[in-house]
Structure 1
Amino acid sequence: MRLYGIVGWKNAGKTGLMERLVTEVTSRGFTVSTVKHAHHSFDVDHPGKDSFRHREAGASQVLLASRNRIALMHELRGDPEPSLQELLTQLAPVDLVLVEGYKRDAHPKIEAHRAVTGNPLIAPDDPTVRGVASDTPLHLDLPVFDLDDTKAVADFILREVGL
């Protein structure tokens, strides 16, 4: 499975870049899936809904299905968080999986960076970061892209993964 990550600190532009990359890469005829890591508790369900009630009653997994989409929720109930590699086994085959987050994992990555956040770059200390997409010029020994130049970032990622 071809895998490429987008990492960066909070408010660095990761999600916007991910969204634009999915649009750009799929417009070129490739299939794309995404994985997003959340550092906090989150819920995709709503109190009072049937699926929420199933989870609250103790179901380990709840599968919602309609003619438009399916969603599988798996309650960990104290079990350790699955690794990225374990999660990838849950995905159907696609041309490219884009991963937002998981900055400590070993897959290749682009760092999203906005100067206004004041956060340091991850790239200089992480050899898995292969390039930086930034809103300010940077002088690095890595490719640096304008954060809004989605086409150039997509070209780079597709070359890197052999597509």
Structure 2
Amino acid sequence: MIGSAKALAICGPKKCGKTSLICRLVAELSQRQLRVAVMKHAPHLHVLDVPATDTDRFRLAGAAATLLVTPGGWALHTYEKPPLESLWQYLGWADHVLLEGFGSSPLPKLVLRPSLDPSYAASLDPATVLGILDDPGRLPPGLFPDARLRLTPEAVDVLLHWIITDFLAR
């Protein structure tokens, strides 16, 4: 839970289709009048400030954070990685929060195509894995035996039904 929002991490090896799946889920859940937010984990450093801009100059001067407000929205730039729990305050208004990545978090998760990288799958806490989306013939026997949901990655309609009738209803 993030505030009153239900949080569900979609994780899996690099380039396995996480972003495409999340975009499809966001579109479908939004059509059902659910307020959906997305949080993405980027394991590599992203430069958030363009060099020589005002916000970059504030950072170089020693600002701990910069809040940029524009006619199209706002962005908070902090300059160190925050604890995951400290970010909930920004997304608690949503009905549902989908997280891309965050495989090592204690959040409930769906694992997309774990067969593509068995070492990645082995790094996950099986107690947090609610479901697996992979081609059945590719899954190693016994992988995440307690996962309640086992689907092919193309079964998005079935996944949506599960999210709405089971996951969000809990």
Task: Please indicate, yes or no, whether the TM-score normalized by the shorter chain is above 0.5.
Answer: yes
Aligned counterpart, 1:41: 45
CA contact (8 A) 2:114 2:120 kept: no
**Partner residue in 2 for 1:104:** 104
- CA distance, structure 2, for counterparts of residue 128 and residue 98 of structure 1: 15
One-letter amino acid of the structure 1 residue matched with residue 158 of structure 2: A
Q: Is the counterpart of residue 161 in structure 1 residue 160 in structure 2?
A: no
* Paired amino acid for 1:122: A
Question: Contact conserved, 1:36 with 1:100, CA < 8 A, in 2?
Answer: yes
8 Å contact 2:91–2:97 — kept in the other structure? no
The residue that corresponds to 1:29 in the other structure is 33
The equivalent residue for 2:19 is: 15
CA displacement, residues 127-157 of structure 1 (integer Å, 9 cap, x when unaligned): 21111122x2247644222213322222222
Corresponding letter in the other structure for 1:32? V
CA pair 125-95 structure 1, distance change in 2 beyond 3 A:
closer
The aligned counterpart of 1:88 is 88
Calculate percent identity across the aligned residue pairs: 31
SS in 1 for 2:57: helix
Q: CA deviation at 1:73?
A: 0.5
User: Which has the larger helix fraction?
Assistant: 2
Match for residue 69 of structure 2?
A: 65
Gaps of 5+ in 2: none
Which amino acid in 2 is paired with 1:162? A
Runs of 4 or more consecutive aligned structure 1 residues displaced over 4 Å after TM superposition: 138-141
CA RMSD in angstroms comes to: 2.4
User: In the alignment, what sits opposite 2:150?
Assistant: 144
Deviations 1:52-95 (A, max 9, x none): 2222222111111111111110112xxxx332222112324110
SS of structure 2 residue aligned to 1:26: helix
Structure 2 residue matching 1:59: 3-state secondary structure: coil
Contact 1:5 1:108 in 2 (8 A): yes
Moved more, 91-100 or 45-54: 45-54
Conserved 8 A contact 1:22-1:32: yes
| Cα distance in 1 between the residues matched to 2:119 and 2:109 | 16
